[in-house]
Structures are given as C-alpha cells and as structure tokens.
Structure 1
Amino acid sequence: MSERAASVTSPDDGEPHDEREAHEYEERATASPVTTGAEAVIRALENVGVEYAFGVQGGAIMPVYDALYHSDIEHVTMAHEQGASHAADAYGIVAGEPGVCLATSGPGATNLVTGIADADMDSDPMIALTGQVPTGMVGNDAFQETDTTGVTKPVTKANTFSSNPDTVGDDVGEAFALANTGRPGPTLVDLPKDVTLAETDSQPGPARVPDTYEVQERADDDVVRAAARRIEAAERPIMLLGGGVIKGDAHEECRAFAIDHEIPVVTTMPGLGAFPEDHELAMEMAGMHGTGYANMAITHCDTMVAVGTRFDDRLTGGIETFAPDAEIIHVDIDPAEISKNIHAEYPLVGDAATVLEQLAEAVTESPKATKWRAQCQQWKSEYPMAYQTPEDEPLKPEFVVEALDAATSDRAIVTTGVGQHQMWACQYWTFTEPRTWVSSHGLGTMGYGMPAAVGARLAADDDQEVICIEGDGSFLMTLQELAVAVREHLDITVVVLNNEYIGMVRQWQDAFFDGRHSASEYHWCPEFDTLAEAFGAKGFRIDEYDEVAETIEAALAYDGPSVIDAHIDPRANVYPMVPSGGDNGQFALSEDQL
C-alpha cells in the first residue's frame, strides 16, 4: 500500500494510519481553514494525498476549479470528459490508489459514464466529481441538468448527491476511501453549484468508510484447511490468477505459493503480470483468445485455485464445459462473486494476500504432480504461439508487438484500446510485472488506450516506458487526447496497428457472417504519422519488416509523444480462438476449424 493510500482510515480507528500524514493533515487544517464548500472538496482530496486530477472545465463545476487553482494538486485538462475518466482509471491501475476525474453537469457528467462503467466492470479504483445545477433548480430541467446520481447508480460502487456545504468535504473523503477499500471500484460525488459556492468553516475530517461497511479479510479457517487437503491430494492442479491478485497486491503471495508447490499458473486477461510469463510454470492467458496450452490446462485440471477472478464469459466459454473435472477453490474479497458463475466447492472469502498466506500455512505437502507438469510442457510444444512471416505478404502484427517488447524493459507499461490489437498485445508481449498491463476488459471500450496512456504516464516511475498499442478504428475514437500528451510533454509511444478495418468485427464477419463486411471496412484512413505531426508529436510509419526495429528505436528515443503508423496485413486474424460460449478445450487455430 502506498503512503498516500495509507492515510485512508478504517471504520474502527478513526485516525490516519500514517503519523506523518496525520501531522500534515493537522497542519493543513490550522494553516488555511476552508471557507467554501468547493474549498472543502479540494481539501478532502489534499488530505488523502491526491497529486493529479483529470478533467474538463464547465459552468457547474467552476467553483471547484476555482478552489483547485490554489491547490498543489496538478490538474490535467483533457480533450474530452471520456478521456478524463479513462486517464483517471489508468492512473488508479498503475498507482494502486483512486484516480480522480472532474466534469461539469449535464453532458460533462454523461461523457464520464463510459469510463465510470469501464472502471466498474474492471473493479478499478476511481472517484468522479461532477458539477450539478443549484439544488433549487434540480428537477426543473435547468440548463445542463442531468440526474447524474441516477444515471451512474448502476455503474458505481457508491455515489452521493452532496447537499450540504458543511459535509461536502467528508462526502468526498468517504468516496475516496470507498473506492479503494475491499473490492475497488468507481465512486461519484455530485456537487450542486450552490453547495460548492456556499460558505462553511467545516474542515473535512480524515477519509473513512461508513461504519456499516465491512470487509472480510480472513477466510474461514475450516474451509481453508479443507482446501489445503484438496490441494495436497491434487494430481492435476492449476492456479488461475485474475485481476484481483493485482488489485489486492497479492502477486508475491501467489507467486510464492505456485513456485513452492510447483503448480502451473494460468492468468485471466486482467491478471496479466500477476505471474511472470517467462517462468516455466506459466501457462499464460486463458479464455477466448488465450493460449492453447492454458485452455488445455483448464480443461483437464482436477483442482483449480482461482484467485481474484469473476469467471466472466470471455474466460469460461460455456459454463458446462469449463474445467469439467475440477474442484474449485475460489478466493475473492467479494462474496457476491463466489459461485456466481462457476460453483466453488471451497469458497474462501477474504483479502487475496491474506488468504494465500492462510493457504500457505495450511498446505503441509506439495501435490504429487510431476506427470501433470510434464503434460503442461508438452501442450506448450504442441500449441506454440507461432506465426509465419512470408516475405511476399504484408507486415504481421505479432512481429511488431514482439519487437516492441524486445526494445523495452520488463517494467514497461502497455495500454491498449479494444479489438484485434488488444489480443495481439496480450498474446505476444511477455508480462512479468504487475500493474504494467492497462486495458479495458469487461466493458471492452474502444479508444481506451490513448487517454489511458496519459494517466499511466503520470502514475508511472520516470524510468518506465509507456507504450500505447492501438488499432486504427480504436485510435480514431479518442486520438484527440494526443493533444494532451503534447501539451503536457508526456513521453508516450503510440503504435497504431493499422489494417483499415474494425478488425475483430471483420474477423467475426468472415467466420460467422459469410464474409459480409458490413460497416467494418474503412475505404480511407488518415495518415496517422502525418496527423501526429499536426498535433505536435513525432510521426513515424512502418510498412516493411526491415523498418520495424529501427523505427521503434527512434520512436522510443524521442523525448515526447510519438506515433508509429504500422501498416499491417489487413487479413491477419487472432488465433487461438474459442467461439463465444464454446468449449475452451476445443479452441480453433484457424478459421476453417471454427
């Protein structure tokens, strides 16, 4: 947990955990007491150590921005509110604490909704602050009025209409605490203009979750012991690591458990980086476009230790064919996820790191699985992630991704949009560290990659490269955020895998709709390298294999945002592939196998 996150209080102590931050909190309270609701909002953010906020100005949120003017919090003005929410989301993923986004009422707030829904689906910590018309005008269809809390209630962990200037700061502090306590998620505070303009002398207290909010840290000891006996008796065990492993900072415990007991490890897409993919036990990503060997391991295992995964349909395929011979040990901090999609014989509700420590203590001998591990290695040999690069065919996207991976460090951060390019990034980048993979999983939001790169860059260490892998269709949705990267002097390398298609749609149309390319084919595309130059970034273009390494090196060396327009084979497809609702063990390696 970071120092900033440590300042959030739990319901039973009421004081900041970190004494230094408690002292800083007292200094802020006595040095400059708040005088308005807007100042209370900003003070609440300062109290929890917020360093960056992403947003777009507007009428109803103006008092908050006026208070922000005097704060040390650095505001990043985005080109569009959706970009602000994605940037805040990505910041939270990389930093491990809530990212903050702001927008005005009406269209500003509704433009945040896609990013809020994205964070909700992926359990990412984020807080949204939205302006609202004065309380006396609410319900009168005032200019730029929207029922923001009503609109966002289904896609937030919690949201609040803040109606009192004396409590608005505490509302914001509570939203911040809730966003990162237990199962993370987005929260929202709607801020009427009269509330933020009103005078108050109420100093926001330390951020704390409500007294009624409880999180179970430790799993039931009896179930832990029973699960331990099952692991010891297993002949074909696997660990399935989901995004909750990373969000719960449990990757070290999971890695130690797998390595100590020599258990092969499969990850979900959100779980990339939870286990080093260059380790011999790594089976890599499973699911619709997972590796053949990962899907074979899931299909044939007899014991699955699943940590921090919600067993979504892109992972499981058909529920009835998922891990048919396995007994499931499911570790999750949210009891609602246990047996929601896949029945768990051993439900372990609790914090992932804590429960893995419980399991590590309870398992006294490793499963006897020598033959199983050999079988997993054999599947790796039988279903390698290989591809051809004929000289008489256009550039293959897999080659570009591997070249990018080779040119960057193990700690490089990858952001993507959604589509074929996202899957190639999953498959051909070797992830070894947590919080280096930043993408849209559950919601599948095209255009996520570019604004996410802005947030990731500001959360990352200075020595970490930030690579944004986009498709042409996805990039066209949010490329205006390139202007932000240029304005803020952010060192980001964008690589557009350009096939002049909405590629994944085109692939499905070829496979399931007799090749009818309805609204998936671009008959013209911008020159993204030229467009980058117009934005003030550095533009590059790749057409041939012998241009790849040199161009990537030049783009990475450029001190600022750069865009590589990589023209790839328009007919390239993503395989392996499990058809929607299909059997993971019956994956296709080519279109004629579908």
Structure 2
Amino acid sequence: MSESETERTTAEKGDDRLPTGAASVVAALENAGVTSAFGVQGGAIMPIYDALYQSDIQHITMAHEQGAAHAADAYGAVTGDPGVCLATSGPGATNLVTGIADADMDSEPMLALTGQVPTDMVGNDAFQEADTTGITRPVTKASYFATDADSVGDTVGEAFALARDGRQGPALVDLPKDVTQAEDVAQPGPAEGPESHDVPDEADPDEVDRAAKAIANAERPVILAGGGVIKGNASEELRQFAIDHGIPVVTTMPGVGAFDETHDLAMEMAGMHGTGYANMAITHCDVMLAVGTRFDDRLTGGIDTFAPEAEIAHVDIDPSEISKNVHADYPLVGDASTVLRQLDSALPRSPDAEGWRDRCLHWKEEYPLDYNAPDDEPLKPQFVVEAFSEATPDDTIVTTGVGQHQMWAVQYWEFTEPRTWISSHGLGTMGYGLPAAIGAKVAAPDQEVVCFDGDGSFLMTAQELSVAVREDLDITVCILNNEAVGMVRQWQDAFFEGRRMASEYPWGPDFATLAEAFGAQGLTLTDYDDVADTIQEARDYDGPSVIDCQIDPREDVYPMVPSGGANGLFALQEEHL
C-alpha cells in the first residue's frame, strides 16, 4: 500500500470514529474562530493532535515550547484574539511557563492547552507528570483541570472567552489523557466566559463628570496612553480626544503605537528610557488622564516623584489597578473606548493649554533623541533602526528581544499605528523576539515583520529560525551585535564600577553563517555605506533573512532614569547618573 493510500485510509477511519474528548476540544477551538495554533507534540497531548489532523486549524510546530508560547503571545497582541499554544505534560508544560508569565504581565490574550497523565495516575509521580495547574495558577487568569469528557469542550471554550474578554490575559486548560481519549462525548457550545466574570463597560457618570471638569480646568494637561488603549481597541478614540482638545500624549512602552508619533502632540514614550520631553511633560503636568496603564516601576521611577503636581484620572477595565501604585483622584473603571467617549461628551470645554503645548514643543527641541555617528567608528545601532524605519511601510510590525536593542528599537523607530510594536515589557524575557516574529507573521501575513534582537537574546531562541524557514515566513531579523548582554554591561559600568562579570560575549558565532545553516539568508553588516543596500537585500529575499549587524560595543542607551529615580532628572550620559 502506498503512503498516500495509507493516509487516505487513516483519514477515512478517522471519519468513522466516535466523538472523543480531544475532538470536543478541537471543536471548541473551531467554535471560537481559532485558525492557527503553535505547539510541540508529545505523549500526553497526542490525542489533541490526532483530532487536529481532521481540522482546518493551521498548526505551526515550534522548536521549543517556550517559542510556542511567545508565538501565541505575539499572535494575540497583533490580532486581539487569544493565541493558542499546545504542549505535552511535564517538561512540555513547564517549558510554556515563561511565555505564559510573559503574557500575564503584559495582559496578552492566550490559551494554553497542556497534556496530562491519566486522571488515576495524577499525584503518583508518573512519567512526565507535573502539577501544571498549580504551577501556572499565579500567572494565568484561570488554570483549569479537565475532569469530565462531556464538559471538556465547554471548559476550553470558557477559557478562551476568559482570555479574550475584559482585561486580557492567559488561561490554561490541563487535559488528562483519559479525558481526551474518552469516546462518545458531548459536543461543545459557543465560547462563553464564566457567569461570575463581570466585565465593566461605562465608568460611574459622577466620576466621569468630576474628571471632565478637572481636565477642562487644567493648564498643563497630559494624556498617558498605556497598553490597555491598544488592547481595548481605543486608539482611535484616544487620538480623536487628544487632537480635538489639544492635549499632549505620552505613552508607556506597551502603549507605543496608540498615538501617531509623527503628530505635534506626541511626546512619545516616558519612563526609564523614555524621551526627555515625555518625562518632562509627566513631571510638570497638573492633570493626567491615564488610560489603560498599571503604573509599573519602569514608567514611574520613584512613586513619590511621579507627576508630583498632577491630579490623576485613571481609566482601567481592571478595578484592582486603580490606586494600586499611583493614587487616582478620579477613578474611572470601564472599557477604555467607552470611557473616552463618556469623557468627551462630559467635557464642558477644551482646556486652555496653548502655552503648555508650546512648552512641550520647546522640550522636544531641547532634549531630542540624538546620537553621534562618526564615520571612523563602528556602526551605531540607532542609525540602523532609523534606516529600517525609513525603508519600511508604516504598518510594519516590529518585534524585539529584551535589552539595549529593545530600547534602541522603541526609541528610534517611528510608530504610527497600534499593534505594530510587539515586545516583552513587564517580564523582560530575553529570546522573545524571534518566536514573536513568527507569531506576528502568521497573524498578519500581508504585513512586513522586522525583529530587532541582541546577540545574547537571539542565542536563547535561535532554534526557532528553523520554523521560519520550514514555514517559509518572510521575516527579517536584525541582530544588533555588540558581543555582550548589553544592558547588563551598561548597568555594571554605571553602578558596579565597571566590573563586567558574565556580561560580555566575545565567543559568539558568526550569525550570518548560522542563518545559512538553518536555510535562511545570512548577511553581515559593518559599514554605514552598506546599510541601505543590506536592508533592501534582506527585504527583497523571499523568506527569512538574518542580518548580523556588528555595532559599536561602547554604545549605551540614553536617556536613562536610574531605578527608583525621578523622571525629571533623566541622564543623557553616564556622567549624569
């Protein structure tokens, strides 16, 4: 019997099988509109994969489970719908944990499905057993253990809806093998969240009126746009509100793209490595409308010095975030787009802030993002990022790992649209960039995807390049190679008297040759004169390209606010720290 005949016979047999728990799980995914999933096969998850064989859901086999979680995370960030990742029990599930924790910190929608040993073996230290729900409960919105084959599909649907609705985040369903192998089970209904999950919409009208009056009476108003603006699909409402009322806009790092950075009102990103003008605007504003932000320490620096003169109107869909880190004078719990419309309707007039806008423009001129690029010195990473930004369309998606390259990318790329900046913010996960680029490209196949990575970050998940080659994904990876874990090295120089312990990587591989070994295009970039042509060559290649961009190892990231410092006292060079 030929191989094709064997495949047909297998498929025909599959059509005659009784409905199983695994088939119910896959049916729940289909009911939820899932079209793609990322995962790694294994023994306990095998029944789910067997059911996927009959499904139209596209499955991307990743090289490592952590890569599957990051790809699903980025897929969710780009589409707004939960990305799905799968892994087997034991090490498969534990390998997902870093990616799940990353999604939890950044409120990214994700559904993780993990195999588990049969129910009667749970707790007996069986082969590849781990307490997956116990391990993941602190880093998920909910972690379910499936105990009943008739309800397992509905459990998966509920987890999907929970990940998607309200403040988004990851959910997990642990699937014992006996549950997924059970036959003649009930089929699931549509994906619906638990009845106890209440998602707020409109904010309290009295609080809205109070906040609107404060904004109208402000002399130095600022809008702080966080990642919740993008996840709540409120970018258009925020842009319109800011422009109609002439209010400068500062973003958090997760909020980059919520407001067009080319607009005069854009002060860009604030915080530890934010622009000097954004940090000055925060420091001197008298009313702040903060939308969809959790006021993390990388944004605020020292809480006592954050926006010291400002009344805070805080819009968030999660009531637990209100006054958690920064006291809210006007708490506005609700959906970001809805509350912005409420405020717009309640605003008695636009604030009289012409002088304030002029002052903000002056700060832009006084503290521009700038760098020196002498011809006789190695390539500056900022120059490379700017060249990429100029060469690519406005809707290009940028992913990164974590470190200096991440900061140069967010500082020197010109972001004009939401869901085009995809990075690891709260957890700060090195290695995020490449698998995230894969997830982003699957989510948006018609958009360009550029991954900026560091040599240290790239080495953590480089194996995922095999996936990009196998799936023929047209992505470009630019490794800003300074032969170091650059951000650690920068902190050692600034705060540890230059003791560079375990931060320099002079033993790294030739990344262009490594890329070619994987089957990708490998390029090396060392000279300013070659930047434009190398970028174009990478973009023209039909498939994944990797550029080993050998940058000046002495270059550091500035501006910088020391940890716990005051945003208004940012350093422009090491001597200022």
Structure 1 length-normalised TM: 0.94
What's 2:12 paired with? Answer: none
What's 1:564 paired with? Answer: 547
What's 2:524 paired with? Answer: 541
In structure 2, distance between residues paired with 1:165 and 1:131: 14
Q: From 375, 391, 409, give the equivalent of 1:391.
A: 375
In structure 2, distance between residues paired with 1:68 and 1:368: 59
What's 2:468 paired with? Answer: 485
Q: Return the offset for 1:154.
A: 0.2
1:114 to 2:102 alignment: no
What's 2:485 paired with? Answer: 502
Q: Return the offset for 1:211.
A: 1.1
In structure 2, distance between residues paired with 1:491 and 1:159: 35
Q: Contact between 2:430 and 2:460, CA under 8 Å: does it hold in 1?
A: yes
Q: Return the offset for 1:201.
A: 3.1
The percentage of aligned residue pairs carrying the same residue is: 73
Q: From 49, 58, 71, give the equivalent of 1:87.
A: 71
What's 1:236 paired with? Answer: 220
1:97 to 2:81 alignment: yes
Pairing 1:186-201 to 2, within 5 Å after superposition? 186-201=170-185
Specify the SS of the correspondent of 1:454: helix
1:580 to 2:569 alignment: no
Q: Return the offset for 1:64.
A: 0.5
Q: Contact between 1:165 and 1:200, CA under 8 Å: does it hold in 2?
A: no
What's 1:22 paired with? Answer: none
What's 2:310 paired with? Answer: 326
Q: Contact between 1:234 and 1:368, CA under 8 Å: does it hold in 2?
A: yes
Q: Contact between 1:34 and 1:43, CA under 8 Å: does it hold in 2?
A: no
Q: 1:34 to 1:299 in 2, by over 3 A?
A: farther
Specify the SS of the correspondent of 2:223: strand
1:39 to 2:23 alignment: yes
Amino acid at match of 1:252: E
Specify the SS of the correspondent of 1:66: helix
Specify the SS of the correspondent of 1:582: coil
In structure 2, distance between residues paired with 1:33 and 1:251: 48
1:374 to 2:358 alignment: yes
Pairing 1:316-355 to 2, within 5 Å after superposition? 316-355=300-339
In structure 1, distance between residues paired with 2:440 and 2:16: 32
**1:524-577 CA deviation, whole Å, 9 max, x = no partner?**
111101110000000111001001000000000101000000000001000000
What's 2:168 paired with? Answer: 184
Q: Return the offset for 1:364.
A: 2.4
Amino acid at match of 1:516: R
Amino acid at match of 1:71: S
Amino acid at match of 1:312: D
Structure 2 length-normalised TM: 0.97
Amino acid at match of 1:301: C
Q: Contact between 1:34 and 1:40, CA under 8 Å: does it hold in 2?
A: no
Q: Return the offset for 1:203.
A: 1.0
Q: Return the offset for 1:386.
A: 1.1
Q: Contact between 2:149 and 2:185, CA under 8 Å: does it hold in 1?
A: no
Q: From 247, 254, 272, give the equivalent of 2:231.
A: 247
**1:152-190 CA deviation, whole Å, 9 max, x = no partner?**
000000110001100000000000000011000000000
Amino acid at match of 1:69: Y
What's 2:535 paired with? Answer: 552
Q: Return the offset for 1:210.
A: 1.1
1:159 to 2:143 alignment: yes
Pairing 1:95-494 to 2, within 5 Å after superposition? 95-462=79-446, 464-494=447-477
What's 1:528 paired with? Answer: 511
Specify the SS of the correspondent of 1:289: coil
What's 1:20 paired with? Answer: none
What's 2:495 paired with? Answer: 512
**1:447-506 CA deviation, whole Å, 9 max, x = no partner?**
0000000000010141x1100000000000001000000000000000000000000000
Specify the SS of the correspondent of 1:401: helix
In structure 2, distance between residues paired with 1:33 and 1:122: 41
Gaps of 5+ in 1: 1-30
Q: Return the offset for 1:200.
A: 2.8
Q: 1:120 to 1:540 in 2, by over 3 A?
A: same
Specify the SS of the correspondent of 1:518: coil
Q: Contact between 1:34 and 1:203, CA under 8 Å: does it hold in 2?
A: no
In structure 2, distance between residues paired with 1:139 and 1:588: 54
Q: Return the offset for 1:197.
A: 0.4
What is the RMSD of the two structures over their aligned residues, measured on CA atoms?
0.9
Structure 1 residue ranges, 4+ long, deviating more than 2 angstroms after superposition: 31-34
In structure 2, distance between residues paired with 1:520 and 1:63: 44
What's 1:26 paired with? Answer: none
